Amino acid sequence: MNTSRRSVLGAALGGAVAASVGVSATPASAASWVLKWSPSAYTDGLNAFETVEDDRADSHPAGQPHIYPESEHWRFNMHMVDRDTMTDRQRQEVTGLRTPSGYLQWLPGQTWRVTYSMYIPSSLKATTTFTHIMQMKEPGSGSSPIVVQSLRRVDGAQTIELQLPISGIMVGRTSLDPLHDAWTDVDFQIKVGDGTSGSVRWILKKSGTTLIDKARTGVDTFLADRVRPKWGIYRSLGDTSGSLQDTHLLLRNFRGYQLL
């Protein structure tokens, strides 16, 4: 990211905290990130989330549960026989940020940030069609994704990318190879805004080394109602690269912050 873009986004987001993901602290007089969500897989389990979409078509009872806490992380299993309600795709996802006082609402004009670690095994490959492992959407069936973090084959190479589908904008893309069979830290920041009033920043780090740090301002990050995050595996069966197989995804250390 060039210096001017970084400075613009830094001002828009008020800087950041948590040096563990490599974002600079803000001056005391500026807005700051306030921790709103810090679930534990061990103690909260699936109650950390607003909803759980585990084989919602009941396509593979023998494989249930596909989503469950496992020690310090959450595990998402995907089998080749699994099918979503639309049978040309597969879905095992959780949605939302649940706290003891209710679900967190991401509304226009607000700025939110989620950090977490993900383990992508080598069996979870990039595909020629969509394989999403994080989405931001308006709640409700049939709504379009606002943000997607995806595993995509580009000219045969495996990549991970962040796109804004409603704006038709590619925020960034990098090689998936260094992420396989290792824990990767994710730092995602979003200002919820309609038209050109939104912004996003996407950072991936592995063992303290930044793999990608990209941002966009002046973008559309809102459809209606609110923005709700989703995590898990959501993929098309239309892949032509032979990359689909039984696989899983691990997530841990979720933290949710609001800029106040």
Domain ranges of the chain: 3-259
List, in order, residues 6 or more apart from 255 with CB less than 8 Å away.
18, 35, 37, 38, 114, 115, 116
CA distance 56 to 245: 20
Residue with tokens 């959780």: 94
Q: What is the mean pLDDT of the chain?
A: 91
68 closest CA partner among 255, 254, 253, 249: 249
- 130's tokens: 């969509």
The pLDDT tens digits of the residues spanning 211-226 come to: 999 999 999 999 999 9
- Amino acid letter at 187? D
User: Would you state the pLDDT for residue 165?
Assistant: 95
pLDDT tens per residue, range 133-151: 999 999 988 789 999 999 9
Inter-residue contact 183 to 117 (CB < 8 Å): yes
The whole model's pTM is what?
0.88
Average pLDDT over residues 88-117: 97
CATH of domain 3-259: 2.60.120.200
Q: Are 180 and 122 in contact (CB under 8 A)?
A: yes
The whole-number pLDDT of residue 11 equals 43
Mean of pLDDT values over 76-87 = 98
